[in-house]
Amino acid sequence: MAECATYGTVAVLQINNPPLNVLGHDVRSQLMSGLQQALQDKAVCSIVIMGKGQTFTAGADVKEFGTEKVFWEPTLHSLVEAVSASTKPVVTAIHGTTLGGGVALALASHYRLADSSAKMGLPEVQLGILPTCGVTQRLPRLVGLQTAVRMVTSGQTQSAQQALTAGLLDKVVTDDLLKKAVGFARSVDVRGLEARRVSSWTVPGADRAEDVLDAARKTLVRRSRGAIAPLTALQAIQASLLPFETGMKREAELGRYLWTSWQAAALRYAFFAERTVKRWHIPRNKNVNYRTAEPMDIKSVGVLGAGTMGVGITISLLQAGLKVVLTEVNKAQLDKAVSLIQRSLEGKSGGKPQPMQLRATTDYSQLREVDLVIEAVFEDLALKKKVFQQLDAVTNPRTILATNTSGLDIDQIAAATQRPDKVIGTHFFSPAHVMRLLENIYGRHTSVETIATAMQLGATIGKVGVLVGNCPGFVGNRMKGLNFTEAMFLLEEGAEPQDVDKALEEFGFAMGPFRVSDLAGGDVHWRRRIQAGLTTEHGPPPYTPVLYRQGNRYSPLADMLCMQGRFGQKTGAGWYRYKSGSRTALPDAEVHRLIHKHRQDHGFQRRNISSQEIVERCLFPLINEGFRILEEGLATGPQDIDVIFLLGFGWPRHTGGPMYYADKVVGLGNLLQSLEKYRAYHPRSAHWVPSSLLRKMAAQGTSLSIWAAGSRL
Ligand SMILES: CCCCCCC/C=C/C(=O)SCCNC(=O)CCNC(=O)[C@H](O)C(C)(C)COP(=O)(O)OP(=O)(O)OC[C@H]1O[C@@H](n2cnc3c(N)ncnc32)[C@H](O)[C@@H]1OP(=O)(O)O
């Protein structure tokens, strides 16, 4: 856990708690007793604290957070204070990615050394808590308010060089950190110790504090969208302008406030959910799971289609060091794609040339020897089936064939081949080289090896893979579609697009549904509705009521905009209007007129609709659908649904995701009641009928966490 050794007059305490040296209770205890021994040992003049393995430490053990263990002595706070009060100089030697509590230990030390490849960060606000243990008081004294605010409120890591420049580190070294740290510790003098205690320093540039804090507050109010941790952290940093002990008291108060908040619990859940989804199984056959599966070794990947998705996927694969054969029948499109890929990769490597593992071709037969192909052609079932038939003929029979689709039937695509066991859906989110989510969809015949390979490939290219079953829209789009449906009904009943967007943005989404639709292009879903027979390019299908389609209430408003060529930002007008070259959504009188006329034509009585109703009506049907998905065994557990929404649809992380939010914030009983209430008002919308799983759980008073724990292997 923590090992102690002496090198002449230097005692070295080394954390050894693989994989990430987190500071659980055992580690803290051993570090504390090592420190006390070193202080008592007359032969020891200085002390080095460092870590073995891949990192100094990733910080506090988050697994302890929901338990009493985190308060067992020595707590992290006691350990940090013991380091700070040491009567012998303490040098912290940092390597790898050092986070949270690791930075707290470093700040309390008298000297800080790091390997040149080290990174340091304070991700606490991403867990909804405050970097306590004196971080908010010592850091500004060391690096100034501006850098401290940036590090604490963003959670972003700093490279060793950045940390050195900021004043957070005393020295950056290359090679043999242990030897260099011991050498450095030998050279430091106990007589200078008092001056090295950061707690005795004042914050540099305190005269400009008000301006810095005001500017940060304004940015954070806008960016944090309801998350309380960043603004609370700012208050703690502000307290560093007070005497150190007073500031520490304020830090402790604010720390307790965040520690006990529901947002901290939600963010902790999100942290573990992202890691839990890799432990997949198929709900109907638990023997098919991540433990029994053996992935194929993938070294080369073919990407078919060089549109926006194909380009993003290719960049992700190349960045992970895989060989890629990019195939596109249109030569001009292919050339454009290659130049985009090159530019993007050059940007990533800081202008340094990268060994190009890309072969671009218009010839399908070049895909013969790749291990896996990802098809990324236009979202059209007939086209995809044709392409899969060709791929089946041209590729090696052992090659896995993946389709990048956002909702088409995997079984139908697989049926176009002689190897349905080797066909799988890999739903990337746009931009594919940026978005971390990969929704992997198994079909009826997909083999366990194919599933394991797609999940493994996701991890290799830095994505969080979530495995789901095959149904229209899969998990993400099947649920998300309902949000937009209700948003349009709200327009019919009296809201304006900006009212709906504002309510959901206040809930925490970066953009409301109408702004998202304008960004993505309204025509994409319009084409899908046409394909599904819900509408035509000229209006409702013959003999179809305007407000009722396929057994459900229907709003034709989006179709009406598309029929006018209003596809969103790309046409300068959609639910909003856009000035040339601008992405700012401006309310549009024409849209208001169109909605107003539609209300009049169909006898809608306009009424005022509260933000609460908007949020409930847009989100509750989606959550209800999540319960249906669990019931149908299409997701391994609620975490899978939550991760899809957190990483793929901008669901506000501080609420944990739709299923967590329903369970822990709304309450399943309250959710059921609300669904029943809206169902009574809107009997022609099937999405208000509560799922039987929700009914059962609400009746039994059970929580999704119990359901989830039992269902996970
Ligand atoms: C009174 C209360 C005391 C309050 C103390 C307040 C002050 C201190 C606060 C903190 O220190 S909060 C913790 C800050 N640290 C983090 O948030 C670290 C988060 N981890 C990461 O970002 C990444 O893990 C990494 C360090 C960048 C490494 O990434 P990598 O992809 O290599 O590995 P992972 O798959 O993410 O992790 C492997 C394994 O380790 C588990 N894990 C990671 N970090 C922690 C942690 N801090 N505590 C506990 N467990 C951690 C992770 O869940 C994985 O586990 P498995 O899923 O494989 O079981």
The interface predicted TM-score (ipTM) is: 0.98
Report how far ligand 1's centroid is from the alpha carbon of 58 (Å): 6
DSSP 293: -
CB 34 within 8 A of CB 4: yes
Q: Whose CA is nearest to atom 56 of ligand 1?
A: 275
Which residue ranges have their beta carbon within 6 Å of ligand 1?
Answer: 19-20, 22, 58-63, 70, 76, 97, 99-101, 104, 123-124, 127, 129, 131-133, 275
Cis before 131? omega within 30? no
Which of these, 472, 298, 307, 499, lies nearest to 400 by C-alpha position?
298
Q: What is the number of the ligand 1 atom nearest to the C-alpha of 65?
A: 2
Whether a cis peptide bond, with omega within 30° of 0, leads into 19 is yes
SS (H, E, C) 341-363: HHHHHHHHCCCCCCCCCEEEECC
Supply 555's token pair.
Answer: 């709003």
CA dist 566 and 579 (Å) reads 14
Query: What's the confidence (pLDDT) of residue 709?
Result: 56
The angle formed by the CA atoms of residues 509, 583 and 505, to the nearest 5 degrees, is: 15
Helices 638-648/611-631 angle, 10° precision:
130
Residue closest to 38 by CA, chosen among 8, 74, 72 = 8
Supply the Cα-derived Rg of the chain in whole angstroms.
Answer: 28
Ligand 1 center to 161 CA (angstroms)? 23
Within 10 angstroms of residue 192's Cβ, the number of other Cβ atoms is 10
CATH topology assigned to domain 611-709: N-(1-d-carboxylethyl)-l-norvaline Dehydrogenase; domain 2 (1.10.1040)
CA distance to 310, 314, 370, 454, per residue, from 322 (Å): 15, 9, 11, 14
Predicted confidence at residue 711, as pLDDT, reads 59
How long, in residues, is the chain?
A: 713
**DSSP SS3 for 14:** strand
C-alpha 103 – ligand 1 centre gap (Å): 14
Nearest CA among 411, 474, 405 for reference residue 445: 411
Cis bond before residue 431 (omega within 30° of 0): yes
> What does the pLDDT read at residue 13?
97
Burial of 381 (0-12, 13-18, 19+ CB in 10 A): middle
Per the listing, tokens 């060793």 go with: 160
pLDDT of residue 710: 53
Is 508 in contact with 652 (CB distance < 8 Å)?
yes
Decide which of 3.40.50.261, 3.40.50.300, 1.10.1040.10, 3.20.20.70 is the CATH code for 477-497+510-601. 1.10.1040.10
Helix 145-154 vs helix 135-143: crossing angle, to nearest 10: 140
For 200, counting Cβ atoms within 10 Å of its Cβ (0-12 exposed, 13-18 middle, 19+ buried), the class is exposed
Nearest CA to ligand 1 atom 4: 132
**Rounded to whole angstroms, what are the CA distances from 649 to 340, 561, 643, 653, 657?**
25, 23, 9, 11, 10
**Contact 123/99 with Cβ under 8 angstroms?**
yes
The alpha carbon of 264 and the centre of ligand 1 are apart by a number of angstroms equal to: 15
C-beta of residue 444 within 8 angstroms of C-beta of residue 437: no
- Evaluate whether 199 touches 240 at the Cβ level (below 8 Å): no
pLDDT reported for residue 351: 47
- CA 97–ligand 1 middle distance (angstroms): 10
Name the residue with the closest Cα to ligand 1, atom 31.
462
In the prediction, which pLDDT does 21 show?
Answer: 98
- Residues lower than pLDDT 70 in the chain: 348-356, 707-713
Ligand 1 atom closest to the Cα of residue 133 is: 7
- What is the distance in A from the centroid of ligand 1 to the CA of 22? 7
Contact 130, 232 (CB under 8 A): yes
User: What is the Å distance from ligand 1's center to 265 Cα?
Assistant: 15
The two domains 477-497+510-601 and 611-709 share their CATH topology (first three levels equal): yes
pLDDT (0 to 100) of residue 1: 79
Mutate to test the pocket of ligand 1, among 99, 157, 158, 261 (most ligand atoms within 8 A of CB): 99
Q: Which atom of ligand 1 is nearest to the CA of 100?
A: 11
Distance, in Å, from the CA atom of 451 to the CA atom of 293, rounded to the nearest integer, reads: 8
- Three-class DSSP category at 475: coil
Contacts of 287 (CB under 8 A, 6+ apart): none
Ligand 1, atom 35, lies closest to the CA of 275
**For domain 2-259, is the CATH number 3.90.226.10?**
yes
**What pLDDT, on the 0 to 100 scale, is given for residue 353?**
45
In this structure, is the dihedral angle defined by the CA atoms of residues 163, 167, 173 and 179, taken in order, positive or negative? negative
* 312-351 burial code (b ≥16 CB/10 A, e <16): bbbbbbbbbebbbbbbbeeeebbeebbebbbebbeeeeee
CA pair distance 20, 55, nearest whole angstrom: 6
Would you list the domain boundaries of the chain? 2-259, 282-473, 477-497+510-601, 611-709
- CA neighbor of 311 nearest in space, from 326, 323, 301, 291: 326
Residue nearest to atom 20 of ligand 1 (CA): 58
Please tell me the distance between residue 62's alpha carbon and the centre of ligand 1 in angstroms. Answer: 6
SS3 for 305-327, per residue?
CCCHHHHHHHHHHHHCCCEEEEE
H-type helices in 129-170, by residue range?
135-143, 145-154, 160-166
Core vs surface per residue 499-534: b (16+ CB within 10 A) or e: bbbebbbebbbeebbbbbbbebbbbebbbbbbeeeb
| Number of the ligand 1 atom closest to the C-alpha atom of 279 | 57
Q: Which residues contact 163 (CB under 8 A, 6 or more apart)?
A: 114, 118, 120, 169
Closest ligand 1 atom, residue 131 Cα:
7
For position 493, what pLDDT does the model report?
Answer: 97
Residue 317 Cα to ligand 1 middle (Å): 26
Contact present, 265 and 294 (Cβ < 8 Å): no
- Convert the pLDDT of each residue in 200-210 to its tens digit: 999 998 889 99
- Return the CATH fold of 282-473: Rossmann fold (3.40.50)
Q: Can you list the alpha helix ranges (DSSP code H) found in 468-582?
A: 476-493, 497-507, 513-520, 522-531, 557-563
Distance from Cα 59 to the centre of ligand 1, integer Å: 7
Cα(61) to ligand 1 centroid in Å equals: 7
Residues 199 and 34: their CA atoms lie apart, in Å, by 23
Ligand 1 centroid to residue 123 C-alpha, Å = 9
What is the distance in A from the centroid of ligand 1 to the CA of 27? 15
Choose one of 15, 17, 20, 97 to mutate for the ligand 1 pocket test, by most ligand atoms within 8 angstroms of C-beta: 20
Of all protein residues, the one whose alpha carbon is nearest to atom 57 of ligand 1 is 275
CA triple 251-252-256, angle to 5 deg: 115
Shortest-distance Cα residue to atom 18 of ligand 1: 58
Q: Which amino acid is at 17?
A: N
Q: Using CA atoms, how far apart are residues 92 and 50, in angstroms rounded to an integer? A: 6
Asked if residues 320 and 462 have their Cβ atoms less than 8 Å apart, the reply is yes
pTM across the whole model: 0.93
Distance CA 284, CA 516 (A): 35
Report d(CA 591, CA 241) in Å as an integer: 51
Ligand 1 atom at minimum distance from 127 CA? 17
